[in-house]
Amino acid sequence: MLRYTLMRLGIFVGCLVAVWGLVYAGVVPRGLGDSNGMWIVLLSLVISAPISFVVLRGERDRASEQVVQRVDRMKANLAASRSQEDEAADEAAGRTQEQTS
């Protein structure tokens, strides 16, 4: 998961540098007034999103498999905890019935 995040961040930074260079060279228009920095960041986000979607498809699939495995393990641990609690409650109820009989 960390690898995917770092790769996505790298693509964004690469787009940011490229867009900044294009704006500085005058190929892409500057933002209005003091909004030039925001313009560069937003344009970089818009460009990097589809690139990341296509280029990082395999890495995204691997990351989602890791998340699914983690969730399955958590569900299994939760189910095991529930069954242990149920068994303890049943034993306690059985002892209470024996004592009252």
Burial per residue of 32-63, b for 16 or more beta-carbon CB atoms within 10 angstroms, e otherwise: eeeeeeebbbebbeebbeeebeeebeebbeeb
Kindly report, residue by residue over 32-49, the tens digit of the pLDDT: 666 688 889 999 999 999
pLDDT at residue 50 greater than cutoff 90: yes
Give the HSE-up count for residue 44: Cα atoms under 13 Å, Cβ half-sphere. Answer: 22
What does the pLDDT read at residue 63?
A: 87
What does the pLDDT read at residue 87?
A: 73
Kindly report, residue by residue over 14-28, the tens digit of the pLDDT: 999 999 999 888 888
Instruction: Return the percentage of the chain with pLDDT > 70, whole number.
Output: 86
Torsion, Cα 30 32 38 40, to 10 degrees, reads: -10
Which pTM value belongs to this model? 0.65
Count other C-beta atoms under 10 Å from residue 88's C-beta: 10
| Residue 96: pLDDT band with limits 50, 70, 90 | low
